[in-house]
Structure 1
Amino acid sequence: MNKLDLTGLRVITARDLEPAAAAKAEQVEVGASALITPAAKDYAYSKRLQFVRAGGNGAAQATTKSSILNRQSSISSPEALLNSAEAQPIKEEIIRNARKLWTRQYVDGNGGNLSYRIAENAVICTPTLCSKADVTVDDLCLVDMEGNQLAGKQKRTSEIFLHLEIYKAVPEAKGVVHAHPPHATAYAVIGRVPPGCIIPEHEVFVGNVAVTPYETPGTKAFAETVLPYVRTHNTILLGNHGVVCWADTVTHAEWYHEIVDTTCRILILTSSLGAPINRISGEKTKDLLAVKKRLGLPDARYELHECQLCEAPEFPQGITACPVGTGCGQPQQTSQPEVEALVRLVTDEVMKALGERS
């Protein structure tokens, strides 16, 4: 039987299993204490791979995902699936993260939406026109992969197509969260992305961020704007709109909102200090990407050379640490006469205002 040996790895990710699929292997041997990520389990299931623990009795641990098969077979009874024992913790996780988004002021009014792919052709999602402060487990909906509502008392979110396009394009995606965190959305409004090689946590869990052109929310055209980027980016800025993140869980997708918004907030604060931004070196960034790769997270920079990691423009649109129209590290010089003229203008305006008050 064709088998891939991964006993040297402590963490097994979906990317680690790709050689097994390419070689049409049937089994993957892993260490007795190796951690297998959820994405790796999903990938193994999709490729009909079996895990064998080294040092055990040699019996293969089939990645059949019987629970998912059972859920798929019950798709003809969507109400039963939505209200099943296995769906309950997923729904509770969605509600917890909805509350976090509202508490952090990442959503307002009825904004934002969350979802989880519970089966191959079934997604649990939040309803439309409902504040994330008020949404309850009983409000959640079940839809198929075309957006048709299968179960639920409330109407599904109008932006479900955005979630579904991500699930179709990224088999590893299990949870999708869309919100409007203000600092990251500020970047989306100007159509630019935060520079890389700044904050280590951002590099590992988010990394390169993409930004899409604006499209009317809720339309399929809007949903399709993420397709050029979603395979290599788990975090995407939606032009003039907000942010969408995907992950192996809803909780992790919410984490990425926190990370990208914190990064953008720090950069906005840093811009007021009047000093250049210190970048993490390409060598150190390579170390961070190695950690990220072991975690099975996507990044468009994996194939870049060390010297390119922090120098290459961000994809698809770049942002510089200096004003648009100037060269990085080469700030525009202001002549002394220009400075004096500016001071004189400000002084005149201040004196004029004081004179009007008196």
Structure 2
Amino acid sequence: MNNRSIIREQIRETGLKMLGSGLVVGTWGNISARVPGEDLIAITPSGMNYDVLQPEDIVLVALNGEVKEGERKPSIELPLHLAIYCARKDIQAVVHTHSAYATAMAAARKPIPGAVEDLVQIVGGDVRVCEYALPGTAQLGANAVKALEGRNAVLLPNHGMVGAGTNLDEALKICQVVEKSAKITILAQAVGGVVELSQEDTAAMRDFYLHKYGQR
């Protein structure tokens, strides 16, 4: 398979994992990834169930928003994904979910504090809430990019969350860790609230994740 086919299949598989993890229901949420060696991204189509999605349903789009390959209409959140890719050369994949606990924090417009070690390792600190804008707009993309500075996740107010990583596996893992951390934050309110990690400890753990974690 060529790179386009590989990325399309990986996005299809990620959609099934996202659905199976309970991070979305129905057709909501969306997934994209850069196509290696090309100025293209592959993105899920609008309004299609993940459990029936086929690789050919994944749309290939240039960074200027022009559809290059595919018969389907791309996700309404295409401007959000494109804004992140254009602003962050380090990002290779974006996963947008509507998971319950992260969305609860987003609806309350409260950041998820950097109080859990795996969160600060993979995200880089707390998960900020960006300024509100209507879904599907370029303004939402611009607002998300601003809140993503130095981070790999952002809460979209009254909407959901976005995880952005070096590949699809990492982007999905970010969403899972953010959802778990949002749940912990909400549960911790019953026992007095969370205690955030220091900036020094957060920086040390982020550096460990980036340079020493895993099989290198």
Q: What TM-score does the superposition give when structure 1 sets the normalisation length?
A: 0.55
Match of 1:290 among 200, 207, 210: 207
Deviation at 1:227? 2.4
1:115 correspondence with 2:51: no
Query: Number of residue pairs matched?
Result: 211
Map of 2:166 onto structure 1 = 248
Match of 1:127 among 45, 63, 74: 45
Greater RCO between the two (CA within 8 Å, min separation 6)?
2
Distance 1:286 1:165, change over 3 A: closer
1:90 correspondence with 2:7: yes
- What are the Cα deviations for residues 314-344 of structure 1, in whole angstroms up to 9, with x where unaligned? xxxxxxxxxxxxxxxxxxxxxxxxxxxxxxx
Tell me the secondary structure at the aligned position of residue 172 of structure 1. coil
Map of 1:31 onto structure 2 = none
Map of 1:180 onto structure 2 = 98
Distance 1:175 1:276, change over 3 A: closer
Letter in 1 for 2:23: Y
1:171 correspondence with 2:92: no
Q: What TM-score does the superposition give when structure 2 sets the normalisation length?
A: 0.89
CA distance in 1, matches of 2:149, 2:202: 21
Higher Cα Rg: structure 1 or 2?
1
The answer for unaligned runs of 5 or more in structure 1 is 1-83, 297-358
CA distance in 1, matches of 2:92, 2:201: 31
Maintained 8 Å contact 1:108/1:131: no
Match of 1:146 among 64, 69, 77: 64
Match of 2:176 among 251, 255, 258: 258
Maintained 8 Å contact 1:169/1:230: no
Maintained 8 Å contact 1:170/1:231: no
1:210 correspondence with 2:128: yes
Distance 1:294 1:134, change over 3 A: same
Maintained 8 Å contact 2:185/2:193: no
CA distance in 2, matches of 1:150, 1:204: 36
Match of 1:160 among 78, 101, 104: 78
Distance 1:117 1:286, change over 3 A: closer
Identity of aligned pairs, percent? Answer: 28
- What are the Cα deviations for residues 11-57 of structure 1, in whole angstroms up to 9, with x where unaligned? xxxxxxxxxxxxxxxxxxxxxxxxxxxxxxxxxxxxxxxxxxxxxxx
The answer for unaligned runs of 5 or more in structure 2 is none
Give me the CA root mean square deviation.
2.0
Deviation at 1:154? 1.3
Map of 2:54 onto structure 1 = 136
- What are the Cα deviations for residues 145-183 of structure 1, in whole angstroms up to 9, with x where unaligned? 121211112111111110100010001111111111110
Distance 1:286 1:143, change over 3 A: closer
